[in-house]
Structure 1
Amino acid sequence: MFAHGSLARFSQLARRPLRAAGSPLRCCLQGSVGPNNLPSSAMEQGQGATNNAPKHRKTDSPVQRWRPVSTQASSPKAHLDDLSNSARKQTVGTSISDSENLASDENTMEVMGEKYPSSVEVDVPLMRFLKGKGGSVQKQIEQETGVKIIFPSAKEETLVALEGKSAESIRKASERISKILEEAVQSPMLDYSHFISLPLAIHPALVEKLNNFQRSILGASASNVDSDKDESLSEGSMEEIDEAANPSVSVKLPVKEEISVIVKMDNKGSQPEFGIDKSIFIKPKTFHLTVLMLKLWNKDRIAQASEVLQSISSQVNEALENRPISIRLKGLTCMKGSPARARVVYAPVLEIGGEGRLVRACKVITDAFVKSGLVLERDAKQELRLHATIMNVRHRKSKKSNRRNDSFDARAIFRQYGEQDWGEYPVPAVHLSQRFKFDEGGYYHCCCSIPLPEVAQTE
């Protein structure tokens, strides 16, 4: 998605408009560039102050920011078009926006100890990519450019200080940082922060069935299966979506062909010989269907995602023909492999009525987010297959050296629950959910939601 090549020089940024390149990193130039090639305050607004400034006046260092754009519009259709246009106009590289107090004359910058101070604003989820393992990336940039990188001491702070010996060294360091952040955004190492969900945990009967399911497998010691507050890995991984997207790897298990296995529970709520423990079960209070995974690494992208979802409320309901939608969960299915070496176990989703309305509504949602530029290229190619994950080895808390080969023996589970009818449930809303954060009821924190047609209440 990113164009290749270096960023424009600071001096060029002041003289020509920024070019579009489809990057999720938006360049927002708030100032111009002085004769010394260092960014300065906007010439139109600050020229008077610059001309009258005494020489060698101490000023704040320039601040460079990486920032996406959120656009407002008056109608849903125009709104989506504007969001799409803003995404297409996103510029490769860094947003080089400086502090308003920096004067343009090179003589007005006080150079203390032959050091040129500057700073960049890096969103918290991207900070670790700039550091690298053991500080390797940071050290490499410092060696190549001669610029010292100073990270903030507080976890929630985003301002990274730069100290160089020249304007050119600061420019080179900024270019390297920009490239690293661009690669980080596309990297699988940057985890998904949000997702579009269809909440099912709002149905107490379903939650109780899931609790009973876990108790029967883990034993009496797991009677408080839903009391565990460590739910940071409850959300389905992209691995599930990858595997479910291809029908050839989603296997309906032939329960009758499975070899009989006697399940022996221990008193710790686990079956270590089968690779089953409490941590691989999805928490019932977070049970849901996943429509789309998103990487929203700052507040601007979260706000834009909320706008997109709210703007398509009427289109989603039109796809549902303005009628309530209900689903049925029946049986268990394994993604890839066999029940003897299962990795992900989920309940297939059937739309009541079989009209395809739910799939059409989900497509409206997916298309809108792709058009807005908030979906990465890799994720935009995924084919939707709605499923409700029940067990996933990716959530295992134990430290295994080779997680790719991690699995569990699910044959006994499928023998008992392979044809389980979990029931029929209406889908009342669509949520923009935040991973790793939970509301009071135990479900994922809702950043934004749109209602779906309600089932008429009978007297």
Structure 2
Amino acid sequence: MHPSGEEILILITGDNTEKVIKERYKTAGCDVNPFKLTGFTSDLSNIPNFTLYDIFNYLLLHRADYDKKKLKAFKSAEDYRLYYDGHVEHLECVRNGQTFVFKTRVKPTQRDKTFDQKKYYESWFIISNATGEVLAAYCECPGGAEGACRHIGASLYELESYEQKSVTDGPCQWKKRPRAHDQPVEISKLKIHKASYRMDVLRPQIIRIGDRCYRKNPTLDRDFNALEEEEYEESTIQCDSWNDETCDTFNIEETDRGYQTSVNLPSAFFKHIIGRKGETKRRLEIETKTQIRIPREGVEGEIVITGPERKGVVSAKTRIDVIVDSVRRKEPFTHFLSLPVNSQPIRERFLEFQEDVLRKCDSDRGIDPTIFQKPEKLHLTIGTLVLLNKHEIQQALDTLEDCKQSLIEPILRGEPLTVRVQGLEYMNDDPSSVDVLYAKIQAGEQAERLQILADRLVDRFSTTGLMQQEYSRVKLHLTVMNTLMRRDPTSIPGERPPEGKRGYKERESFDAMNVMKNFGLYDFGNYTVNSLHLSQRHGAGKDGYYVCAGSVSLP
């Protein structure tokens, strides 16, 4: 049953308030009231990875007014605008066992003080150290006992804005946000500057959830008629607000008892949909007025959603999709799309390159035979996939076969695709501390055709939800040296740690200054790309290349 206004009032003013809050933080693994913890610090360099998907996942499960429309236009939401306008201050954290506890202060929007004459609303939230999942939250405001008020939402966006320079491995920094001012300023003293937009409105960032795409557009609108957060309780919003769009194409059957749909997912996702002690599943069922039947642990099968109203079934399906997408992003990839570049002439030139580098640069820091790619496994990576059961592997193979007719043949038009592999480049901006050194594909008409094909393949596979599209263009590169290979010979060039696994591998960089000086223009020769593989991450086939789950031929 959706929480009513009376239930919220009881939680806030009743005798059981402290008991409810205590149960919440204890369930999240914290034995002490987070407000009473000591040792908080503003240094957030060791926190787990935390993304927009963790925010959406939490708010979808705790707020009936947070639905797919909010995912598309989250920047217009009140909680995001509180963060953007600088009302969140003093974000601090402390490690507490397997969790991180965060404490913030959020200024009210219009009043100088809160109802109890404080300058700030204090709030806390707890996230898992392993996954970055928000486990519990609380705010002192009138609507904060439910753990999903706009002050908590704003605090979560503040944490998400904390970013790390992953390429250069430099110091962490904050995305700069304006701060709210305490005192008004006379018009004559205002300093007006021309707005500077860092986001290109013609090429906005794309967020993909399953087969749906959402654009992150800059917003300048301000809803001056909106009520400030102290004047109403968010949980009293009617359930009609979570009615989803009609563009969804999944099948919903009408039954004698209402409506029903099924979701075919790998069993690895079941525990995340069930949640700790069944809390996530129970909350989904209550807030969407549905019943969700999940197969037993370790048993593959469909999740069945039933409910008296169609919109409830749609909402439950959407929320499960968001949970699955968030979890999938944190899983290590199992397969990848690759273009083998391992012809005999290319392998011979690569072995000559390896011998020359080891002979001339063997005394340089970090250079040894273990960081060189195996010549049989030289390839171009198009994109990585997380395939967790046979159904998903078959789905990827079907997509690959479909791409042959819908993409490969129209783009290549029966003509061979021959590119030149020449020159070296490194992934970061410091040649004395390099993790990945790669050979470049020389620019030209053939390289442009290859680029178009790679980009279109990623676009197509990302619509299935099995591949994540991180950038607008695929970076075509042939990795020849990679420090991850010291410990994991199956590592894929350009691989990133899964979300929530920051720093899971320690890498020892190498000094590539002499390599670039002596071999920066090294010519590996021409190569005709003749096949596209769905490769398995671990293991090797009879030919020494990655195990092939499926492939299509190119002209």
- Relative to the length of structure 2, the TM-score reads 0.42
- Relative to the length of structure 1, the TM-score reads 0.49
